[in-house]
């Protein structure tokens, strides 16, 4: 049998449908990731136009948050505030444009560049985004400015006349595409996970097809069409007269007579059961997880118990439970770990 023949069977085709859902979900998330990254790119390459003179903006009281501005710096910057005391961290500086004093938020490389170039004939110019001066930074600026002068000149009442109420930030990008980038990364990771799941499921489906001969498949098809076959839709599981046909993770076929050991397995995170399934081990040393049930499938718990009882009724010699004695017996008798 091959995938084309599998598609023709309305019951087993469900395995392929579940695989395709993973593929489509992965591709959809990949498209969303690409759209978000393209969106971020357009934001980053957006033309901000000509920067406005920061000194003029403050002098004319035209300054607003987020304006693209430029400032010619004529003297070496003087640091007065920092959130991180590292040598190369971003800091707040007094910046001078001739007789005008401003506040700027600079990274170390910009500060180092200004410190060198302000000694040259042509004063350097920086560009950045205008931002409101935080209250704690303003208090430090007033204190530092008065210390430099040696007199108490600046106060909260008159500081806007000397420093303004805005600073120029050259550290923060002139564009804000952080949400798009983070969203793109998240959807890209989800897309990769879904695509990996698809390839794993598809591989298991092909392996399941190869695991049985043509004569066995005819028998399985016949039993699947039998009215006595049990089908657990939420668990994607068929129990025929002689076979377990599990579609929850690809296509897996197990014959009852081959099962030697069966036990329940559950995965817990932070004390909460997030997944539960039945593990059947065969005399061929193969372990197969069937009837995968997450913690939200409350209605399937009754089915879960019914499945185990039905399998045991088909092979009463099955060893039940994951105990120390059973593990030792299975390892010694069948080499199952």
Q: What is the pLDDT of residues 182-231, one digit of tens each?
A: 999 999 999 999 999 999 989 988 888 888 888 888 899 899 989 899 99
∠250-254-258 over CA atoms, to 5°?
155
- Cα 187 from chain centroid (whole Å): 7
Buried b (16+ CB within 10 A) or exposed e, 60-85: eeebeeebbbbbbbebbbeebbeeee
Q: How many CA atoms lie within 13 A of 46 on its CB side?
A: 13
pLDDT-based confidence at residue 337 (cuts at 50, 70, 90): confident
Q: Are residues 142 and 220 in the same domain?
A: no
pLDDT at 330 over 60: yes
Q: Above 60 in pLDDT, residue 295?
A: no
The residue among 174, 189, 221 that closes a domain is: 174
Q: Are residues 152 and 228 located together in one domain of the fold?
A: no
User: pLDDT category, 137, cuts 50, 70, 90?
Assistant: very high
The whole-number pLDDT of residue 298 equals 57
Q: Which residues of 285-323 are buried (b: 16+ CB within 10 A; e: fewer)?
A: eeebebbbbeeebeebeebbeebbeebeebeeebbeeee
pLDDT above 90 for 336: no
Mean pLDDT calculated for residue range 306-310: 91
**pLDDT single digits (tens) 72-116:** 999 999 999 988 777 778 999 999 998 899 999 999 999 998 988
CATH of the domain at 239: 2.30.29
Please, which pLDDT band fits residue 304 given cuts at 50, 70 and 90? Answer: confident
Together in a domain, 321 and 231: yes
Instruction: Please give the pLDDT value at position 5.
Output: 73
CA–CA separation, 211 and 292 (whole Å) = 21
Residue 69 is predicted with a pLDDT of 94
In this structure, of 11-25, 65-79, 156-170, 289-303, the range with the lowest mean pLDDT score is: 289-303
Residue 292: the pLDDT is 80
Structural domain of 254 = 211-334
Q: How far is the C-alpha of 244 from the C-alpha of 208, rounded, in Å?
A: 12
The pLDDT value given to residue 105: 95
Is the pLDDT at 296 greater than 90? The verdict is no
Length of the chain in terms of residues written: 337
Q: What is the pLDDT of residues 49-78, one digit of tens each?
A: 889 999 999 988 888 888 999 999 999 999
Number of structural domains in the chain? 2
pLDDT computed for residue 168 by the predictor:
95
Query: Is residue 77 one of the residues assigned to a domain?
Result: yes
Please tell me the predicted confidence (pLDDT) of residue 3: 67
Looking at the fold, whether 158 and 256 belong to one and the same domain comes out as: no
Domain identity same for 219 and 318: yes
Q: Where is the domain boundary, 174, 198, 221?
A: 174
Residue 6 has pLDDT above 80, yes or no: no
Tens-digit pLDDT profile for residues 236-294:
899 999 999 999 888 899 999 999 999 988 877 776 766 788 999 999 889 998 988 76
Residue 224 lies in a domain: yes
pLDDT at 300: 60
Both 154 and 241 in one domain: the answer is no
Identify whether residues 156 and 229 lie together within a single domain. no
pLDDT at res. 294: 65
pLDDT band at 119 (very low <50, low <70, confident <90, very high): low
pLDDT at 23: 94
CATH number of residue 109's parent domain:
2.40.50
């Amino acid at each position: 049998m091959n995938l084309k023949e599998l598609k023709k069977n309305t019951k087993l085709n469900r395995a392929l449908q579940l695989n395709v859902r993973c593929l489509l979900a992965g591709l959809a998330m990949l498209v969303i990731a690409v759209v978000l990254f393209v969106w971020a790119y357009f934001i980053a390459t957006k033309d901000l136009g000509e920067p406005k003179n920061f000194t003029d903006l403050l002098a004319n009281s035209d300054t607003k948050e987020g304006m693209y501005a430029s400032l010619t710096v004529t003297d070496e910057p003087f640091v007065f505030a920092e959130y991180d005391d590292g040598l190369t961290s971003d800091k707040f500086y007094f910046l001078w444009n001739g007789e005008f004093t401003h506040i700027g938020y600079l990274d170390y490389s910009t500060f180092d560049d200004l410190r060198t170039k302000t000694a040259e004939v042509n004063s350097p110019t920086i560009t950045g985004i205008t931002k409101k001066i935080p209250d704690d930074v303003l208090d430090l600026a007033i204190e530092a400015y008065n210390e430099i002068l040696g007199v108490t000149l600046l106060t909260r009442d008159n500081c806007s006349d000397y420093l303004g109420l805005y600073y120029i930030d050259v550290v923060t990008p002139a564009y804000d595409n952080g949400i798009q980038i983070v969203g793109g990364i998240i959807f890209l990771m989800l897309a990769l996970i879904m695509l990996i799941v698809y390839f794993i499921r598809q591989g298991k489906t092909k392996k399941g097809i190869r695991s049985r001969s043509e004569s066995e498949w005819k028998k399985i098809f016949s039993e699947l069409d039998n009215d006595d076959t049990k089908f657990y839709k939420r668990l994607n599981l068929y129990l025929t007269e002689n076979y377990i046909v599990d579609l929850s993770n690809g296509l897996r076929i197990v014959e009852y007579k081959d099962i030697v050991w069966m036990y329940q397995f559950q995965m817990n995170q932070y004390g909460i059961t997030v997944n539960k399934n039945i593990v059947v081990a065969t005399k061929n040393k193969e372990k197969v997880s069937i009837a995968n049930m997450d913690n939200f499938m409350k209605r399937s718990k009754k089915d879960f118990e019914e499945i185990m009882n039905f399998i045991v009724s088909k092979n009463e010699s099955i060893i039940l439970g994951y105990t120390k004695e059973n593990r030792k017996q299975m390892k010694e008798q069948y080499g199952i770990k």
